[in-house]
Structure 1
Amino acid sequence: MKIGDIDLGERPVMLAPMEDVTDHSFRLICKEQGADMVYTEFVSADALIRNIDATTRKLHINTAERPTAIQIYGRETGPMVEAAQIVEAARPDILDINFGCPVKKVAGKGAGAGMLRDIPKMLDITRAVVNAVNLPVTVKTRLGWDHDSKIIVELAEQLQDCGIKALTVHGRTRSQMYNGEADWSMIARVKENPRLNIPVIGNGDITTPQKAVEAFDRYGVDGVMVGRASIGAPWIFHDIKSYMHDMDHPAQLSLDEKFALLRRQITESIANIDERRGILHIRRHLAASPLFKGIPHFRDTRIEMLRADTWEALDSTLNRIQHEIIPSIQNNVPTHNQLL
């Protein structure tokens, strides 16, 4: 699969753009684990133009994480064009336009998925951004605003006519937010349109290697994008790629290797911010990590882990989970923590 001149190989798997998740440290880890392309957190066009420090920092790209797409969002053509030109100066591999974010503070103001209620403006912004930069421009959007306006098949053609080089479709409407199951049959309809000749990337509920393979085999997409399933589990890219390489005997990371990746996220977050805020930033990954799912009588330890505000305290709790609690479950031996 190629986006412009960027060759991502066959059946590429990508890290989705996620606010407060896909910082440059996490992107690099996911790249090392097998992600074929990574996306930044989405960037507000208005904040970028105003040169807000927290926003401009999102433009930093580590060479080792490439190819990297920077994603922007906004509701007016002029600011989106200006932001696109600022982004181009940061030298990403791809510029992506967010027409899919469903959260109220974005979509409710007409940006992100809010553009699904104003298709002429969406197309005007897309066309203007494509014409303003020399980067490959792509779009990420949803099926439509709600159940009664699933317009993605027709919209995909219109966006292609604006000059985009690839389209990512999240298989839900804006009104669904992240609830219910993603409708991959609609994504397949986009791909099956004989008039569409740009790559189609499917997004939504890619939570296992088996679902990634199904997206390619059953729905025919050119690429898949992994979002929430990577939070607290960057090794999902390793698992998917290993399964695609050998479905009968996929390679697996050990428990120690997975804990090492989480510790790396924490220490790099602390190094990039500071101890207190770095740990706060990483709590979302700890809360979501499948490493801690299904551990019986884990509530008190989970609270302790998520309330830790120093690296020493957090590392101590992780050590106990890794070396005492989980092994005791595997050996069916209750720990003091489980007896409480």
Structure 2
Amino acid sequence: MSNSCPLPRIGRHLLATRVILAPMAGVTDRPFRMLCRRLGAGLVVGEMVTSDPRLWHTRKSRLRMDHRGEPGPRSVQIAGGDAEMLAEAARLNAAMGAEIIDINMGCPAKKVCNKAAGSALLRDEVVVAKILQAVVAAVDIPVTLKIRTGWCADSNNGVRVARIAEDTGIQALAVHGRHRQQRYGGEAEYETIAAIKAAVGIPVFANGDIASPAKAARVLDYTGADAVMVGRAAQGNPWIFREIDHYLRHGQRLAPPSDKERAEALRDHLTALHDFYGRHLGVRIARKHLGWYLAGDDRFDDAGQHALRATFNGLESRHAQRRFIDELFRHDPAATPRRIARDVAPDGVCAA
């Protein structure tokens, strides 16, 4: 059974659980990574960073590479198509405190694939091998790889790429159960992940459509994977990590977080976003996270969620955003949208 399997290891790093936060651009920043780790993620992977150091002077890149205060192991994902540049990016990130380097060969975004990076690399296995060899040789910390099953339905070469990865010294492999042309549509398939796990001896992490503890257990049992990697299902629901971990260990569902726990997590997340990004950017970035939290809050219907998002998006101060969270859990859900709209003014000043 999946819950009896040992915890996976990446090099010298033994993961605390069998549930991993997937790297997601614009989502898995330092505040979110630290929250997910606190709530049960055994490993968190940072947002994708370009391998071109000439672009690291931007505020976005600097923030993506900021891992101050994070417990280990700190995993940094790099993306690009040039082996030498990726190797240098790995060296520089290791010097800045990265403890694991993850190579992105799974991103399906056009702006990434058009630069012969991300999942576009899966079309050329010779280039894949060259990149992996260069990065592994460049650093003395573990290097991991994230891939899809292939470029398209006619080119599901995930098993061959996995063998190349193992042969070149990659120490763990995350596999999203879709090929690139599927992007995030349709349903993920796990047959290829099972075949990859059977073909290699390094840890394999199953990714794609894992949105519940029961689904995580089924995927692990079916594929034989060493851990699951959760992406979109964690947006607005960071508790999913402890829920999956509990289910895998005990075979029982964990009670959902109480309103008090939810309120505390939202307050902590808001505060971390405000502190990390600064007064203005932190307020703006908090809006998308609050939208994800509301989308998963079954206390409110669609109209209520829409009204709450509209009110929150009109707030311009961290104080008003925190007041919003207080009000969100203070009153009867049916009255909450109207009450918040009345008590928290759109300009960010709390009404009397």
TM-score of the two chains, using structure 1 as the length reference: 0.90
Contact (CA 8 Å) 1:20, 1:281: kept in 2 or not?
no
Extract unaligned runs of 5+ from structure 2. Answer: 1-7, 342-352
Structure 1 partner of 2:15: 8
- The secondary structure found in structure 2 opposite 1:17 is coil
Classify 1:178/1:3 alpha carbon distance in 2 versus 1 (closer, same or farther; 3 Å). same
1:88 Cα deviation after fit: 1.3
Extract unaligned runs of 5+ from structure 1. Answer: 329-333
Classify 1:105/1:294 alpha carbon distance in 2 versus 1 (closer, same or farther; 3 Å). farther
Contact (CA 8 Å) 2:149, 2:176: kept in 1 or not?
yes
Any idea what the Cα deviations from partners look like across 1:99-119, whole Å, max 9, x if unmatched?
A: 011111111211111112222
Structure 2 partner of 1:123: 129
Structure 2 partner of 1:208: 212
User: 2: CA distance between counterparts of 1:230 and 1:168?
Assistant: 17
- The secondary structure found in structure 1 opposite 2:223 is coil
- Which of 276, 287, 291 in structure 2 is aligned with 1:287? 291
- Which of 18, 23, 31 in structure 1 is aligned with 2:24? 18
- What is the total number of aligned residue pairs between the two structures? 329
1:125 Cα deviation after fit: 0.8
Whether 1:300 and 2:304 are equivalent positions in the alignment is: no
Classify 1:281/1:90 alpha carbon distance in 2 versus 1 (closer, same or farther; 3 Å). same
1:203 Cα deviation after fit: 0.7
Identity level (%) = 36
Structure 2 partner of 1:96: 102
Classify 1:335/1:50 alpha carbon distance in 2 versus 1 (closer, same or farther; 3 Å). closer
Q: After the TM superposition, which residues 171-320 of structure 1 pair with which residues of structure 2 at under 5 Å, given as runs?
A: 171-193=177-199, 196-248=200-252, 250-289=254-293, 290-293=295-298, 295-296=300-301, 297-298=303-304, 299-320=306-327
TM-score of the two chains, using structure 2 as the length reference: 0.87
What amino acid maps onto 2:138 in structure 1?
A
Structure 2 partner of 1:67: 73
1:230 Cα deviation after fit: 1.2
- Which of 302, 326, 329 in structure 2 is aligned with 1:322? 329
What amino acid maps onto 1:219 in structure 2?
T
- The secondary structure found in structure 2 opposite 1:318 is helix
1:286 Cα deviation after fit: 1.5
Any idea what the Cα deviations from partners look like across 1:267-325, whole Å, max 9, x if unmatched?
A: 11111222221021122222222443562231222211233222233333333332224
What amino acid maps onto 2:313 in structure 1?
L
Q: After the TM superposition, which residues 30-49 of structure 1 pair with which residues of structure 2 at under 5 Å, given as runs?
A: 30-46=36-52, 48-49=53-54
Structure 2 partner of 1:337: 338
User: 2: CA distance between counterparts of 1:261 and 1:336?
Assistant: 20
Any idea what the Cα deviations from partners look like across 1:140-185, whole Å, max 9, x if unmatched?
A: 0101111111110121111211111111001111111111111112
Whether 1:110 and 2:116 are equivalent positions in the alignment is: yes
Whether 1:136 and 2:157 are equivalent positions in the alignment is: no
Structure 1 partner of 2:3: none
Classify 1:234/1:335 alpha carbon distance in 2 versus 1 (closer, same or farther; 3 Å). closer
User: 1: CA distance between counterparts of 2:239 and 2:160?
Assistant: 36
Any idea what the Cα deviations from partners look like across 1:166-221, whole Å, max 9, x if unmatched?
A: 1100111111111111111211111122xx11111111111111111112222210
- The secondary structure found in structure 2 opposite 1:292 is coil
User: 1: CA distance between counterparts of 2:278 and 2:250?
Assistant: 41
Any idea what the Cα deviations from partners look like across 1:32-61, whole Å, max 9, x if unmatched?
A: 111111111111011x34541432443332
1:250 Cα deviation after fit: 2.2
Any idea what the Cα deviations from partners look like across 1:57-115, whole Å, max 9, x if unmatched?
A: 43332454311211100111121111111011022221110001111111121111111
User: 2: CA distance between counterparts of 1:153 and 1:249?
Assistant: 34
Whether 1:162 and 2:135 are equivalent positions in the alignment is: no
- The secondary structure found in structure 2 opposite 1:22 is coil
